[in-house]
Structure 1
Amino acid sequence: MTQSTTARKLSIAEAFDSLMREPLPLRITAYDGSGAGPEDAPYRFHIASERGLSYLMSSPDPDLAMARAYVSGDLQLFGTHPGDPYEALVVLKDGIKFRRPSPSELVTLVRSLGVSHLVPPTPPAEEAPSRVRRIFEGFRHSLTRDAEAIHHHYDVSNRFYEMVLGPSMTYTCAVFPHETATLEEAQTTKYDLVARKLDLKPGQRLLDLGCGWGGMVRHAAKEYGVKALGVTLSQQQAEWAQEEIKRQGLDDLAEVRHLDYRLVEEGDFDAVSSIGLTEHIGVRNYPSYFTFIKDKLKPEARLLNHCITRASSHQSHKPGEFIDRYVFPDGELAAPGRLVSAVHDVGLEVHDVENLRLHYARTLAGWCANLEANWDACVAEVGENTCRVWGLYMAASRLSFERNEIQLHHILAARLGDDGGNGFPLRPTW
């Protein structure tokens, strides 16, 4: 910021431009008629209202500030579709580099933009309470609070999920067998990989924890003749899954219950799959979670744990404010070594660890494409604000997987028999 700009009030666009260490790679415009950045830039952010400016100025967390303004429609993005803003996010991540202004520059900025804009507006209705306020819903990862967290994200609308996820109704990382595989082919491949790693056989019993809409349960029953029980904290998921089980005539083998996994009473399972649940249970609960699983397994039976992981053990377990408030309240991630240690330390023998990071980036690209293709119908189903949350979250997550900021790991383990047997052949068969 030069002496000439500190001596006068700045327009909104000038104020934001003054905070950049390098020239803007995109165009910024605002409701006061101001603009900054190249006029021919492929992407343009428009601050459409005073409320949007207040969102941007009042939150100490930049990601949460931008998310609030974007979700509410007060920060508009032009040049890309809201169902898949991936390309614009790449430009933002690579090209927006803020600098720390001096105290005198801060005074000029606040005077120019208005002290009143430092007062936080009411957050969008789609935002969950902060971590501090959620204590009133119960202690973190209590039965009550976990149920509310799952309800916030998963009980949006089954019809919405059908349009975004596609026919598989699978909301976890797919496994792409080749470069041209479709999303549906990749989800089937994922379920079959899990089944083969678990060495499922006709007549066995499978427990699927956090089963979602029952994809793994149905695959195990239909393709492997396994008697499969799935549990989910989402009532909408359980209802949809049971209807689909009946529609496919799998009632004699498959069942999905609306139930916290901690309340499952049956035991002596031949296999347990946990696909996308570990992210929700809390890192401090790993020992009790994997002990629970061990106690549900027969001797020489297998566990396949599939979950998002941190790329480094030095990263915080807690997600950023945007993910915590808008996507996965109370979600936590750990590095793969922490998970392997937790599985190992309860007495399960770890046999295989596989990183599927880039497969999740492809999966998210497919979901964004579905949201973009079905945008009008999705907006009619759940509202434009919710659709913007999903487009932003999925595109940003895709970028995080591509840049190795987060990963996706399979951990395959077994409960040992009394004689030390593990049921595995000398070499892997999957």
Structure 2
Amino acid sequence: MAGLGQWQASAARSIIAHAAEHLQADLSVKLWDGSIVPLGPGARSDITLNVRTPAAIRRLMLSPRLMTVFELYAVGAVDVEGGTPLEAARRWDHLKVLRLAKTLDRRLVLKKLWPFLVAGRGEAGPEGYRARVPTRFGKGRDDEELIRFHYDVSNAFYALFLDPEMVYSSAYFARPDMSLAEAQQAKLDMICRKLRLAPGDRLLDIGCGWGGLVCHAARKYGATAYGVTLSQEQYDYAQAKIARLGLADRVKVEIRDYRTIDEPEGFDKIAQIEMFEHTGLDNHDAHFRQMHRLLRPRGLYLHQASTRRPTFDLKAFRKPTPYQKVITRFIFPGGELDYIGLTVTNLERHAFEVHDVEGWREHFQKTLEHWTARLAENRAAAEAEIGAAKTRLWLLYFSLFALAFERNTTFVFQTLASKRQPGPSGLPFSRADLYRDEIGAPAAVEPERAETV
């Protein structure tokens, strides 16, 4: 058996050295026998990709897919030592990685693969969300189940990487040197300024999370805020926060599907901050109809959502990508991103007037970099809270999306619209006041420290 192990290690070194000729990367691979193989000339070994078993090589060679990488990383068969997956990925050229399967000498790889064919399959990856997700709400799609899969992990877990206000969406870095807490405060202020929130305004927050925006809008802008969520964990946290801040007379949060809200008088303002990604493409018309129904005439709607790049042939847009397949299995079951042109078209189709579209791609990149670093720093606590496999999956998820925003394949936009009416919109001709101070607006209130419940 020792002879087989040595044969496998030698074959693995040959395959990796051959791949290094094409990758020219600045990191190294560490094998199960302790040997280290650089992935490029002069590559450093301060960060290594650890391959812990011969079975991992077998699976990667027989199924060279992103799903395989996620499964192997989740169970620890493949690991990153000395840094995060994000730091490791920045040591190679992404396009060279994508072309690797086509550039390798197949005869060499097949010849060296023989000793791995007698290896076991190795430990299976985590199950994730395996059930089929119906596309349409009301026809078998259970959004509450899908939402709870993602959010009812543990409030203590989310507190390990989020800011003190527990805001789980792209921050707004008015200055590059802002802390995450400062940037999330700036984002909350920007939302309120774009919505022109004023004392007495009735605000609806769709997918209110842990209550960050509704409490901020009431404390700093005098609004009366109503938030809805489908997550029990988020609801419990938000209720405790509202009571702690003494906002029960101005802020209300419920566990409720927003599609069941009936408000004859309408809300003055509606915010939907990165909840839209959960609804599914086939439910977008119903979403915008409900937004229109819930707004008073000329009421303002702020739509913040991640999007992806459209395909040239729009008929191919809905074909799941490898990234979508791993994310919907392990992180966001039922999640789908549209493209910004579709967002604007749908708003106009459903009788909204679009006023502003602002891209925040690099802001979300920085947000994800913060979340990745904070989760890595608190990795031991995260593993104690939710287990090693889930912690690994979230680290890889944050890293993957930070790179997607950096590489200009995934985006996030804030789109401001109003319920269309004849005549003036009621908005200022200039948007200069939105950026007058970048953190300013009303007098700042110190963010509270996150508490776990």
Pairwise TM-score range, normalised by the shorter structure: 0.7 to 0.9
> Would the aligned equivalents of 1:12 and 1:32 in 2 still touch at CA under 8 Å?
no
CA distance in structure 1 between the aligned counterparts of 2:248 and 2:114, rounded to whole angstroms: 67
The alpha-carbon deviation at position 183 of structure 1 amounts to: 1.1
* Mapping for residues 211-250 of structure 1, pairs under 5 Å: 211-250=208-247
Q: Which residue of 2 aligns with 1:4?
A: none
The one of 409, 412, 419 equivalent to 1:415 is: 419
Q: Which residue of 1 aligns with 2:4?
A: none
Q: Which residue of 2 aligns with 1:180?
A: 177
The alpha-carbon deviation at position 341 of structure 1 amounts to: 0.6
Gaps of 5+ in 2: 1-7, 435-453
* Mapping for residues 243-322 of structure 1, pairs under 5 Å: 243-267=240-264, 268-314=266-312, 316-317=317-318, 318=320, 320=323, 321-322=325-326
Q: Which residue of 1 aligns with 2:81?
A: 78
Q: Which amino acid aligns with 1:336?
A: I
* Mapping for residues 56-205 of structure 1, pairs under 5 Å: 56-61=60-65, 63-80=66-83, 84-94=84-94, 96=97, 97-100=99-102, 104-105=107-108, 107-114=110-117, 122-125=124-127, 127-129=128-130, 134-135=131-132, 138-139=134-135, 141=137, 144-205=141-202
The alpha-carbon deviation at position 360 of structure 1 amounts to: 0.9
> Would the aligned equivalents of 1:299 and 1:415 in 2 still touch at CA under 8 Å?
yes
The one of 321, 329, 335 equivalent to 1:325 is: 329
Give the TM-score normalised by the residue count of structure 1: 0.87
Please list the CA deviations of residues 105-158 of structure 1 after superposition, one character each: whole Å capped at 9, or x if unmatched.
Answer: 5642442321665x5853224x222xxxx22x6555557532222122111110
Taking structure 1 as reference, are residues 153 and 113 closer, same or farther at Cα in structure 2, changes over 3 Å only?
same
CA distance in structure 1 between the aligned counterparts of 2:417 and 2:190, rounded to whole angstroms: 15
CA RMSD of aligned residues (A): 2.6
CA distance in structure 2 between the aligned counterparts of 1:229 and 1:255, rounded to whole angstroms: 5
The alpha-carbon deviation at position 303 of structure 1 amounts to: 0.4
**Does 2:424 match 1:426?**
no
Taking structure 1 as reference, are residues 120 and 147 closer, same or farther at Cα in structure 2, changes over 3 Å only?
farther
CA distance in structure 1 between the aligned counterparts of 2:430 and 2:28, rounded to whole angstroms: 57
SS of match in other structure, 1:99: helix
Taking structure 1 as reference, are residues 157 and 206 closer, same or farther at Cα in structure 2, changes over 3 Å only?
same
Aligned length: 411
CA distance in structure 2 between the aligned counterparts of 1:115 and 1:107, rounded to whole angstroms: 14
Q: Which residue of 2 aligns with 1:402?
A: 406
SS of match in other structure, 2:249: coil
Please list the CA deviations of residues 242-278 of structure 1 after superposition, one character each: whole Å capped at 9, or x if unmatched.
Answer: 1101110110111111122212223401011000011
The alpha-carbon deviation at position 396 of structure 1 amounts to: 2.2
Q: Which residue of 2 aligns with 1:3?
A: none
> Would the aligned equivalents of 1:313 and 1:335 in 2 still touch at CA under 8 Å?
no
The alpha-carbon deviation at position 395 of structure 1 amounts to: 2.1
